[in-house]
Amino acid sequence: MEQAVLKRKDKGVERVLIEADAVQQRVRELAAELDRIYVHETPLLIGVLTGAITFMTDLMREMDAELKVDFMAVSSYGDQVTSSGAVRILKDLNENIEGRHVLMVEDIVDSGLTLQYLLDVLQRRDPADIKVVALLRKPKAEALAVQTDLVGFDIPDEFVIGYGLDYAGRYRNLPYIGVLDPAEIEVTKSKTAILSQTPPLQDQ
């Protein structure tokens, strides 16, 4: 990144993939499309914590349709950059979705495993219909096969951060989508290795 514009939070970003303005413009377009879809319905927007928070809050403010929101949390990759394939629900919905128009709001579809799992779980609860809006989608074959009705950007197969997306819990507050510097992965790995060698605290 350019030295002149480097802020503390930009450290570890190899390059900007999608500028903040371009993200905002695309979110406005997606919101307009969703307004055309939900002219007569009140969709329930379901965000998948934590990565989707920024997209969700921007998207819903741009939408004109009457809507409601709810959140789910699923197990994430931890400090890993690849999907383990194992998905676990950590927080379920507050709302009953039977007969409702559900809109899944996803930050990113990588392998598509998380989304497919959630779609299967939610379908069994008999909603009127489920649509999916994903801000980012990677090119994996399985990801392309999973249901995504609207996609903000198709991106290359790189680990991205910012606009809600994290690496090891950091970088969510970047206003743009950036590519993580691979050197950061090594730094975090070695820090984790040092921490895991630290003996646990004993009870007093």
Chain contacts with ligand IMP (rule: CB under 6 A): 48, 51, 76-77, 83, 107-115, 159-161, 165
The residue (of 159 and 176) whose beta carbon lies closer to ligand IMP is: 159
| 163 vs 172: CA distance, rounded Å | 6
From CA 167, how far away is CA 169, in angstroms rounded? 5
Report the nearest approach of ligand IMP to the CB of residue 32 (Å): 24
Give the C-alpha separation, 34 to 43, whole Å: 10
64 a catalytic residue: no
Shortest distance in whole angstroms from residue 99 CB to ligand IMP: 27
* Smallest separation (angstroms) from ligand IMP to the CB of 202: 35
Active-site choice (58, 107, 110, 166): 110
Nearer Cβ to ligand IMP (57/111): 111
* Token output for 76: 């994430």
Q: Cα torsion at 144, 151, 96, 98 (round to 10°)?
A: -70
**128 vs 187 by CB, closer to ligand IMP:** 187
Question: What's phi and psi for 52, nearest 5 deg?
Answer: -85, 0
Residue 198 contacts by C-beta under 8 Å, 6 or more apart in sequence? none
Residues identified as active-site: 110
